Amino acid sequence: MRLFVIGDEDTVAGFRMAGVEGTVVKDRQEAADALHQAEQRQEAVLILPQRIAGWVREDIDRIRFGAEQPLIVEVPGREGPTGEAPSLFRLIREAVGIRIEG
């Protein structure tokens, strides 16, 4: 399974130490371009810090609800959890229209 990270310099450097390739992005356009390129390369798992994932939320939702791969994993960035990541309950509700109590 191939992992790929799209993030700020610190996040990408940290994942590179673990053997995961990645791309450093500095703004919304670079993040959108990197996400599109990773999608074209058919990466299996994409890892993005929550702050950067927030920049490309529409693209992430399109991928999550329209394709089997890549799996997109949002991780807290160096600033900590931002609360921007959608909950699993929200993703299920949007995908199938069912509310789950948890």
Question: pLDDT (tens digit, 9 = 90+) per residue, 76-101?
Answer: 877 766 665 555 556 555 555 555 55
- Dihedral angle of Cα 57, 59, 65, 69, to the nearest 10 degrees: -120
Residue 14 CA to residue 16 CA, distance in Å, equals: 5
Q: Using an 8 Å Cβ cutoff, are 6 and 60 in contact? A: no
CATH annotation of 3-96: 3.40.50.10580
Give the tens place of pLDDT for each residue, 23-77: 999 999 999 999 999 999 989 999 999 999 999 999 999 998 887 789 998 888 7
Sequence letter at residue 12: V
pLDDT at position 77, please?
76
pTM, to two decimals: 0.77
Residue ranges per structural domain of the chain: 3-96
pLDDT at position 47, please?
93
